[in-house]
Copies of this chain bind each other. A is one copy, B any other.
């Protein structure tokens, strides 16, 4: 196995997933981005997608949706906080309503205590139960907040 093999395997596993287009964000109420870190920022692939959103932004269609973010890094302190911040800054430009998890559930503490969003130290191991619980909490809370905002 060489270094490219996991990449290729992942590519095959996800080959059936349609590539995101700006239209995917148009008629939704909640948006969650997850990206590994690249030197403390999001990957250029997700930034390339973000750069296609200018037209949608111009129509106001990105505003007033909820937004939260998740990330991973190879080192515990290798961008797990800063990468999330760069995504929240982006969402502020959209007029998003930001729903980072804070410490709104004990699972946040159990999974490393990142108040900005679920973040994983990517060491080749499967996600821990605490990490999974933290991810589920962040998503459920965002959905709950979104439902309240859209109920009226």
Q: Tell me the A residues contacting B by CB distance below 8 Å.
A: 38-44, 47-51, 53-54, 57, 60, 63-64, 73-82, 85-86, 88-90, 92-104, 109, 112-116, 119, 145, 148-149, 151-152
Contacts and interface: CB of A to CB of B under 8 A. Distances in A.
B151 A90 contact: no
Contact of A102 (B85, B92, B102): B92
A89 B85 contact: yes
A41 B114 contact: no
Report which residue of A39, A97, A152 has the largest number of chain B beta carbons within 10 angstroms of its beta carbon.
Answer: A39
Copies in the complex: 4
Contact of A40 (B78, B92, B97): B92
A90 B44 contact: no
A39 B145 contact: no
Given A76-B112, A145-B97, A149-B148, A40 B90 contact: yes
A95 to B, nearest CB: 3
Given A75-B113, A112-B76, A41 B89 contact: yes
Contacts of A41: 41-42, 47, 50, 86, 89-90
Nearest to A150: B148
A78 B48 contact: no
A95 B81 contact: no
